[in-house]
Chains A and B, each alone.
Chain A
Amino acid sequence: MSEVKNKLIEAAKAGEFLSEVYNLAVQQRGEREAVAEELVSLHNHGQIDVVSEFGNLKNSEGSDFFLTRNIFEAALPKIINPVKPTMDCVLKLVDEAGEDLMAGHILSTFIEFCAADPIRFDEALDVIKLSPVKYNGMIPPVMIGGTQFETDRFLGEIATFSKSHDFRIRSSAFFSLAKIKYPEEKKSSTIFAMDCLLDGIEGESEDRVLANIIKAASSICMANATLNGEAVGCINSALDAGGDFTLHAVSEALMLNGEKLPAEVFDVCLKRLPEANPNNKGTIDNIDHVLASLLKCPDPEKGISLLESLLLKHPKDLSLKAFDSTIHSILQSDKSLLDKLLGSWFSRGDHALCNGIRVIVETTHGESLMPEVDEKSLGRIEFPYLVFTARKAIGYLFNSPLACASIIVSLIKLAKDQQSIQDLASLLFDPILINYSGETYQFLKSKEKIETGKAKSAIRSSIESFDNYLENLRSVTDLPELLPSQSQREASLRHFNRLMSDSFKEAMKDSIFHQICSKAVLLYGTSSISHIREGSGKSRRMETPMQSHGTSIDVPRLASLDPIGLDYTLRVFRNERLKSS
């Protein structure tokens, strides 16, 4: 008898079977299958009732529930055991897993357990029929597995369950329809399933049930394209009556299936996504993936339209910040996409959209973005439309002065009338150059050399205005009378330190390092010495030199000279709207 077996038997006798399984799982690492094999052998030879033992597994602190359960999942398909107690054990382990995404994984191994002796599907069905509410969670695996052996009979059972008075049972039935592998050669099964859905949707108001109907409809239409019309109708009806779960199902269908969905089904799903609840992170994450792939397409219009609809529909609750993959996709794609977006969104002036551009631009690190407005994205270019667009760019991208300057220069190039050129040049001076005289000044200097005609002279005029301004400022001699008093300076420093400390703590909350590393505070020195105990039991000295880390930002000049005015101006720029003609 192997050492593992002995350990397990001893542990079972001592009432520590599950702890031993966990220990073996940790120790064996790559050889967990071997432990599972031992479990099968012990169970099938009647030495330990493995199923019964695992029925006592608790998801509590101190042991890794999923690691232990994985061993059972690996063993289950080969275990010989009566169906009912096995179902009880499986259900217990699903419940114990709680809301974890992996909670239901064991159900697929239960299908394999039944498939090892297909009569088990019938036995399981009988158990379910006797107590359908209790064994509701077992309906999908039994139906999914059963249809692989006897499609029509089990579809018929699903149809029966789908008419249950209990919504949980109906929900499981429709979920089963979503997960069944429909045989390609047997279209009648998809037709039957669709009929089932169409019958089920009538008068259905339970959100979870409707969500599963949508999943099933999208699955069925992918298996049988002739049912697209019915699927569209079914999805629309479900969405009309459903809520957050239904919308989540739509987002999931789009995220998982994407282009594989028939176009008309895809479009109807896409159309309803803006109705998603922005507080449902899972749904928003699904939409994020959908958007990211849509924006990568040669024609990103569908993606742009969906993004605009979403942001405009939830201006207060939803920001582009929630769409990480979308932002990444925009920044990774051709620069023209961003140019197009910013031209279109700034010229419209909606806060939700303009703020979206801010989020995109502020996401970039390192080299600054140099966006330029795409003429085609602008509606009108006569005065004051371009100036309005420029003011929006300043209002939202003020902390990215190079981007602002680049946008304004591109707008000057598009301008046809003198008034627009003059106003745009004056915006380059105030508030751009007045506030940012470093890199931005150099950028405009270099632009002045490259550009020609009206753009060159407009840039030159703004640079000249700034040179004069700076000369005036430099002529103001030292005036100690105007300096804040010592007590004010000290109060201000304390205030600043507190703000920095608060913001540091806030940043630490989201820091990945904070989550994966432990923190040690060194009071003195430039390196950290520690002793690491190796596997052999020896201790090894380790000295880690400390590195300084810093970042710098340009503080706008008016933040200290006229902070209230600057704040006011930027708020005006952000909030102003053009009067509709």
Chain B
Amino acid sequence: MKLIIKEYLASLKERNELDALLPDLLSQMGLHIFSRPGIGNRQYGVDIAAVGRIDGEPEKVYLLSVKSGDLGRKDWNSGSVQDLQPSLDEIISVYIPTHLPSEHRGKPIEICICIGGDVKEEVRLNITQYEESKRTESLSIVEWDGDRLSAMVEKHFLREDLVPEGIRPLLRKSLALLDEPEASFAHFSNLIFNLRNIDFSNDNKRLTALRQMNICLWILFAWARDCGNLESAYVSSERTLLNSWDISKNYFQKKSKIAKSIQSTFSSILSTYQIVTTQYLSKVVAPHAHKLHGLSSAVSSTEKLDVNLKLFEILGRLSISGLWSQWGYLTNGDKPKIQERYDREINLLTRSLKQLISNNPTLLLPIKDEQVIDISLALLLLSFRDGNDKDCINWLTEMLERAVFSHKTHGSYPCIYRDYSDLLEHPKKQDKAYQEEATSGSVLYPTIALWGALLENFNLFKSVQKAHEESFSHCNFQFWYPGKTSEEHIYRNSDIHGSTFSHVPIDQNPDEFLEAVWNECDHSGVFKELSSVKSGLWPMLLVACRHYRLPIPLDFTLGYREQRQHQEDKPETATSGSE
């Protein structure tokens, strides 16, 4: 286990990775952190500062200077601003005399050289000399190299008495099978399941479980990145995020010390999730989205189904990232610079999304109705930016045409089946009975109609009506709404939940259709009470829908109703004004 952890530590980058792990580690070790890593704030060589006792030693102040990978001559003192020796000098000459909080003055100080890897022999003598030369009665300089850090991680996070039985083998298996992501994820999800199912009789156990989830996810990600396959890390990060939210959600409104620690650890997990997903998109999608058939060809399968399944998967993942960026944009309204960064991100992801669709024509026709989830996510993202309506309409129009055409010609029309082997056989028969069974229900078609109505493209809406009349009269057009038990199950997928609006009134006009759909949102009223929505973390709900394959709640389209009401109010105001 120690070797696994060491390997993971060695692969961490300094910024946002190694320095993100250390605060959790120190907290878990019982230390109080009084200075955390930050960008822009000058810390005079100190990346993390903490105070407390380690292994029964007297209370000390620990000042950590963090470096990723191995420490060699060029990292020690080669004239670069990132060099370690000048940082240590700065700690001694500036930070300790001027920045050390007054309550910690007089306590013994240990400056820790934190490195994920090893100290190379070429620089060993220099460091030893330096340590000796600076040592005083109250000041010492020590090395926390990969060996020591991995021992600490193992001792404080993954010690056998700290984790439920079987966690360590599950972690090892999920790492060993990274090249077979499905199997790796199966082990990792089992690991998460075991971690979250421990006895939560006290808050500290919850906190420890969250930290363990985070460190395990980090280890998995670091190994996945190293072996060049992020698939397992991606889905595992979603699973970890959702489960960690389920543990943390009740602490979000509280202000106790433990609540803050839990909130902070959840933020770390969210950050880890975002690092994994960003890395995934920048490796897999962004460089190739603009190439005709680029990503389709990368699926490298002779089975026609595989390309379709993978591309819709990518569509959903890309869209979810865009929606997180949109969330970042909306929640940072008072920080123009951060908002600008999110704005750039959204534009980039939106552009990639459109390129993905136009260059991979398999995205013009889903093979299974369930892929409406990914389609809805994409539409939701596109709807947040002006100028995308036409693209959405074109996409959906083409999709509907292809679906109806394939249905008529017994081609690969969207079906209700989800199982891979069923999809392989689809369409198994060319008779009416099979066709009606394979299309006995649909969220896809009413969703196309919904967006036709939302974007006021009535031709598209009418086309769905026509398709329903001519080809899908047997099909139950439906929408899913979260229900009273959704909060309990949606982040863990622990049971079936929610309600389905069956036989949606597709024969009505678009306004009546929208009215009926939105009325059901009002009637249900559950959406606003979902913890992720209530806490302002609404993308979490979308992650849950994508990850556990649930349709996107229609409450996300209520903005259109407000917009309409606003537009309807305007002329009235004008009229009353003129009167």
Contact = CB atoms under 8 A, between A and B. Distances in A.
A473 B293 contact: yes
Contacts of A568: 365, 402, 405-406, 411
A130 B372 CA distance: 83
Nearest to A569: B361
Most central of A480, A482, A563 by chain B CB within 10 Å:
A482
Given A476-B295, A479-B298, A482-B298, A495 B421 contact: yes
Interface string A546-578: 000000000101111111110110011000000
Contacts of A563: 304-305, 307-308, 362, 412
Contacts of A478: 228, 298
7 contacts: A434-B293, A484-B310, A486-B180, A486-B183, A559-B304, A562-B361, A564-B308
Contact of B365 (A473, A555, A564, A572): A564
Interface string A480-503: 111111111101100110000000
Contacts of A565: 361-362, 364-365, 402
Most central of A469, A491, A496 by chain B CB within 10 Å:
A491
B294 A476 contact: yes
Given A473-B291, A479-B298, A495-B421, A560 B304 contact: yes
Nearest to A492: B303
A476 B299 CA distance: 11
A472 interface: yes
A279 interface: no
A469 B309 CA distance: 23
B294 A473 contact: yes
Contact of B299 (A434, A472, A482, A555): A482
A475 interface: yes
A485 B182 CA distance: 6
Contacts of B361: 562, 565
B295 A480 contact: no
Contacts of B307: 560-563
B575 to A, nearest CB: 48
Given A472-B292, A476-B295, A491-B421, A484 B362 contact: no
Interface in B526-567: none
A469 B365 contact: no
Given A472-B292, A565-B364, A480 B231 contact: yes
A486 B365 contact: no
B296 A561 contact: yes
B304 A495 contact: no
A476 B367 contact: no
B234 interface: yes
Given A480-B229, A482-B284, 16 more contacts: A434-B293, A469-B292, A469-B293, A476-B288, A481-B181, A482-B310, A483-B301, A484-B306, A484-B310, A486-B182, A492-B306, A559-B302, A562-B360, A564-B362, A564-B412, A568-B405
A473 B362 CA distance: 16
Contacts of B230: 481
List the 9 closest A-B pairs by CB distance, nearest first.
Answer: A563-B304, A485-B182, A565-B361, A561-B296, A481-B231, A480-B229, A472-B291, A492-B303, A479-B298
Contact of A480 (B179, B305, B308, B424): B179
Contacts of B181: 481, 485
A476 B183 CA distance: 26
Interface in B167-226: 179-183
Interface string B510-524: 000000000000000
Contacts of B301: 483-484, 489, 492, 560
B131 to A, nearest CB: 44
A160 B29 CA distance: 122
A479 B300 CA distance: 9
A562 B296 contact: yes
Given A480-B228, A486-B180, A560 B303 contact: yes
A69 to B, nearest CB: 48
A375 to B, nearest CB: 33
Interface in B348-376: 360-362, 364-365, 367
A353 to B, nearest CB: 19
B297 A488 contact: no
Nearest to B304: A563
Contacts of A479: 283-284, 288, 295, 298
Contacts of A562: 293, 296, 307, 360-362
Contacts of A475: 291, 294
Nearest to B224: A481
Contacts of B308: 563-564
Most central of A557, A561, A571 by chain B CB within 10 Å:
A561
B491 interface: no
Nearest to A574: B409
B438 to A, nearest CB: 15
A316 B490 CA distance: 52
B301 to A, nearest CB: 5
Contacts of A485: 180-182
Contacts of B305: 492, 563
B568 interface: no
Contacts of B306: 484, 488, 492, 560
Nearest to A474: B297
Contacts of B424: 491-492, 495
Most central of B295, B296, B409 by chain A CB within 10 Å:
B296
A476 B296 CA distance: 10
Contact of B302 (A472, A473, A560): A560
Nearest to A485: B182
B57 interface: no
Interface string B404-426: 01100101100000001100110
A486 B231 CA distance: 13
Interface in B432-482: none
Nearest to B227: A480
A564 B367 contact: yes
A491 B234 CA distance: 24
Contacts of A558: 293
B44 interface: no
A293 to B, nearest CB: 38
Contacts of A564: 304, 308, 362, 364-365, 367, 402, 406, 411-412
Most central of B230, B293, B362, B411 by chain A CB within 10 Å:
B293
B37 to A, nearest CB: 30
Contacts of B420: 487-488, 491
B316 to A, nearest CB: 14
Interface in B144-187: 179-183
A559 B362 CA distance: 11
Contacts of A491: 420-421, 424
B300 A571 contact: no
A472 B294 contact: yes
Contact of A481 (B234, B406, B409): B234
Interface in A448-474: 469, 472-473
B411 A482 contact: no
Nearest to A494: B421
A482 B295 contact: yes
Interface in A3-29: none
B292 A487 contact: no
A563 B367 CA distance: 11
A469 B293 CA distance: 9
Nearest to A558: B293
B367 A561 contact: no
A485 to B, nearest CB: 4
A481 to B, nearest CB: 4
B324 interface: no
Interface in A334-357: none
B437 to A, nearest CB: 20
A284 to B, nearest CB: 25
B62 interface: no
